[in-house]
Amino acid sequence: MSEEQINEIRWTIHETHPDMVPVAREKLSEVIDPEIGLNIIQLGLIRDVVMDEEVARVKMILTTPFCPYGPAMVEMTRNKAQEAFNKPVTVEMGMDVWDFSMMEDPSALDWGLYN
């Protein structure tokens, strides 16, 4: 596996609304985990995005269930997704336990905390 390899997560909208993927990724990447300093796309915290006619649903996880910034990150994720999709958004919290293998860009580990 190359250090340059990106592990892009495929969401439901990749199949149903592929034109919305770039704008969703762009807007959601504006949400930064303040403790780690990487965005929620880089960290792989957005596990799925589903669009219905009336609403979009974002399934996300946090790096830790006790993340002190969790509520603020969830609300910011909802707001950025609404900007991207121009419709109401619900954020569903997944029960997956986050680990480094979920990150899109393994080379982002070079930020120094885990050598």
pLDDT of residue 3 exceeding 50: no
- 84: CATH: 3.30.300.130
Residue 8 included in any domain: no
For the stretch 16-53, what's the b/e string if a residue is b when 16 or more beta carbons lie within 10 angstroms of its beta carbon?
ebeebbeebbebbbebbbeeeebbbbbbbbbbbbbbee
> Is residue 47, in this structure, part of any structural domain at all?
yes
Q: Which domain holds residue 74?
A: 13-107
Count of domains forming the chain? 1
pLDDT digit string (tens) for 13-58? 999 999 999 999 999 999 999 988 999 999 999 999 999 999 999 9
Within a domain: 87? yes
